[in-house]
Amino acid sequence: MSALTLSGLIATALALAGIAWALGLGGRAALDRGRAMAEAEERLAGFAATEALVSEDGAAALVLGAHGELALVKAHGVELAVRRLSRFAPQPVAGGVRVPSGERMFGDVILKLSAAQCERLLRPSPESLP
């Protein structure tokens, strides 16, 4: 392979990467409170979000519904996945809380939270999210 061919291939790859970046492709926007609540309401029938606790890394959230129900929202590639929780059993982990989804394919969700948020979430009754 000649140096000219190699440099042409590199330039083409860089140009394509620049176009993808300019179009906002390939990256996921960080999850925030409003988006977590909107996603839960949109994807779960009858769910009316009242509060959300979002992981510091923006990768996941726990959303509280108007009737005491809970939903998990997590990044799944560039998309978001949402599940209604049938059982709430948070577990402390280093730097946050693990929330089991109850579904093997969805998996557990790790929320990276402050110490105060972890303490509130690990209380026996999660009626009020921080």
Averaged pLDDT score across all residues of the chain: 87
Between 120 and 124, where is the model more confident? Answer: 120
Tell me the per-residue pLDDT of 55-88, one tens digit each, with 9 for 90 and over.
999 999 999 999 989 999 998 878 899 999 988 8
Say if residue 77 is in the same domain as residue 46: yes
Going by C-beta distance under 8 Å and a sequence separation of 6 or more, which residues neighbour residue 43? 82
51, part of any domain: yes
- DSSP label of 30: P
Residues 68 and 96 in one domain: yes
**Domain presence at residue 127:** no
15 within some domain: yes
Q: Based on the fold, state whether residues 109 and 55 are members of the same structural domain.
A: yes
Q: Is 33 exposed, middle or buried (0-12, 13-18, 19+ CB in 10 A)?
A: middle
Number of domains in the chain: 2
Q: Is residue 130 part of a domain?
A: no
Q: Would residue 128 count as lying in a domain?
A: no
85/59 same-domain check: yes
The type of residue at 59 is A
pLDDT given at position 22: 72
Query: Is residue 51 exposed (0-12), middle (13-18) or buried (19+ Cβ within 10 Å)?
Result: middle
79 occurs within a structural domain: yes
Q: Same domain, yes or no, for 78 and 97?
A: yes
For residues 107 and 64, membership in a common domain is answered with: yes
> Do 55 and 105 lie in a common domain?
yes
* Residue 74 and residue 40 share a domain: yes
**pLDDT (0 to 100) of residue 44:** 96
Q: Which range marks the domain in which residue 60 is found?
A: 33-121
